Amino acid sequence: MMDDFFSRAIIAGVGVALVAGPLGCYIVWRRLAYFGDTLSHAALLGIALALLFQVNITLSVFLVSVFVSLSLLTLQRRVTLSTDALLGLLAHSALAFGMVALSFMSWVRVDLMGFLFGDILAVTPFDIAIIWGGGLVVLIILMIFWRSLFAATVNLELAEAEGMKPEQANVVFMLLMAAVIAISMKIVGVLLITSMLIFPAAIARRFASGPEQMALLSALIGVVAVFGGLFGSLQWDTPAGPSIVVAASTFFIITVLTATFCKVIKSIRFNKGNNY
């Protein structure tokens, strides 16, 4: 049953999950879910520009994501608007510019669905090389900046006062996010990247006792979701990208239900103990 394209999909998916998990923890801790969304919207502009200038799509998406991240940093300092409003502005500007740019290229026939929902079953060995190579670089940089990034997450001023250079760490974090969006776009598509970042971390939070454990755990949970989603899509002939997210979502619902169930059982026992 292990078709070649299927094992390639597994290898690629696992690669994305291993990187998205730890970075996703920061998305959850810093409440940046909308930032992830913005970058993935901007990825569409990246795709359009890549087609227009005939350059590598991953590279183009990375550059556009970096550009959008840096615009956000600049706007945050200059403009008196809240971050979520700025993110909304950036996300939809990038998306609209992307769509308009695509419409100018009447000669281009784009499989928009492929970009929106990913095409994991079509990954090539070259894609895998990009995912694992890029992913490894992202993880190594994340490890180097882990302490200052985490300190800045806990308290920016404290980190600044104690020489952790939080501003620098924040820029590095944005670059890493851009890189992850760029390399995972092909796997789960621009609309579902945020879920690969958020779901595993959200599930891991319940079980983790420290930040580092949470990062490892969410990487593992992401891997489980990739396996579950891909085998499910093979079994029921469903689209692969969304199936991975469905698997992660199911995982999340099960942990929530289990926790609630345990609580109810406990309180029933407790009440019984009180009555008799």
Q: Which residues bind other proteins (CB under 8 A)?
A: 28-31, 147-148, 150-151, 153-155, 157-164, 205, 208-211, 213-214
Q: How many residues are given for the chain?
A: 276
159/190 with CB nearer other proteins: 159
Instruction: At 38, give phi and psi (nearest 5°).
Output: -60, -45
d(C-alpha 166, C-alpha 179), whole Å:
20
28/123 with CB nearer other proteins: 28
* Closest CB 196 distance from other proteins, rounded Å: 18
Spatial neighbors of 15 by CB under 8 A, at least 6 apart, are 128, 131, 132, 135
* Closest CB 229 distance from other proteins, rounded Å: 25
* Closest CB 182 distance from other proteins, rounded Å: 26
40/153 with CB nearer other proteins: 153
CA-wise closest residue to 113 among 256, 244, 241? 241
How far does Cα 126 stand from its chain's mean position? Answer: 21
28/50 with CB nearer other proteins: 28
Confirm if 44 and 115 have CB atoms less than 8 A apart: yes
154/254 with CB nearer other proteins: 154
* Closest CB 221 distance from other proteins, rounded Å: 14
Amino acid at 96: A
Residue 79, phi-psi category: left (phi > 0), alpha (psi -120 to 50), beta (remainder): beta
209/235 with CB nearer other proteins: 209
Burial class (CB in 10 A: 0-12, 13-18, 19+), 255: middle
Other C-beta atoms closer than 10 Å to the C-beta of 6 total: 17
* Closest CB 29 distance from other proteins, rounded Å: 5
58/148 with CB nearer other proteins: 148
* Closest CB 203 distance from other proteins, rounded Å: 12
Other C-beta atoms closer than 10 Å to the C-beta of 34 total: 15
* Closest CB 165 distance from other proteins, rounded Å: 11
And the tokens for 35?
């930032």
Q: How many Cα atoms within 13 Å fall on the side-chain side of residue 205?
A: 14
